[in-house]
Amino acid sequence: MSGVALERLQLQHEVDQLNAAYAAALDEKRFDAWPEFFLEDGRYTLQARENFDRGLPLALMDLESQGMMKDRVYGITQTIYHGPYYTRHVISPAQVLDVEGDVVNAQAHYAVFRTRPAGVSEVYNVGRYVDQIVRTPEGLRFRSRLCVYDSEMILNSLIYPV
């Protein structure tokens, strides 16, 4: 295997590990850790596939910095009242689309399941992550994570990050 192929395989592994850590933090309700997966000026967007495909900017959620993400975490943990539920993220291996300087463009498919205590599990949200990832001294971080969801309707309301 050539050196370039080994580097590409290593990068693929690192992106998959980033996604696995991201999913674990959310599924374990370690919401304070969620903004740390992003650069300080990182962006988290949740957008319907229909709007994405048409190039329309309307998004269900569009957070433009770690500060905005921390505000969302405060809302989730301190002010929003909802019936309790657990999430479980299942994320496909990432597809590294290209590397432009220090930016990795990648995507992965996801499914998020929701389970209420003493209830059944249901599909909560399904789609793909379209990511721009940057290598930092602390490891890989998202410059942007665009969650393009396929579901036309979201069950009840979206509280936890996807």
pLDDT (tens place) for every residue of the chain, 162 residues total: 788 889 999 999 999 999 999 999 999 999 999 999 999 999 999 999 999 999 999 999 999 999 999 999 999 999 888 888 999 999 999 999 999 999 999 999 999 999 999 999 999 999 999 999 999 999 999 999 999 999 777 766 788 999
Which amino acid is it at 17?
Q
> SS3 helix, strand, coil % of the chain, rounded to 5?
30, 40, 25
Judge whether 19 and 129 are in contact, CB under 8 Å.
Answer: yes
- Cα separation, 158 vs 151, whole angstroms: 12
Residue-wise DSSP of 9-47? HHHHHHHHHHHHHHHHHHHTT-GGGGGGGEEEEEEEEEE
Beta strands in the chain (DSSP E): 38-48, 61-63, 86-91, 95-100, 103-115, 121-136, 139-149
Report the alpha-carbon distance of residue 116 to residue 118 in Å, rounded. Answer: 6
List all residues 6 or more positions away from 79 whose beta carbon is below 8 Å from its beta carbon.
none
pTM (predicted TM-score): 0.94
Domain 3-149: CATH architecture, name and number where available: Roll (3.10)
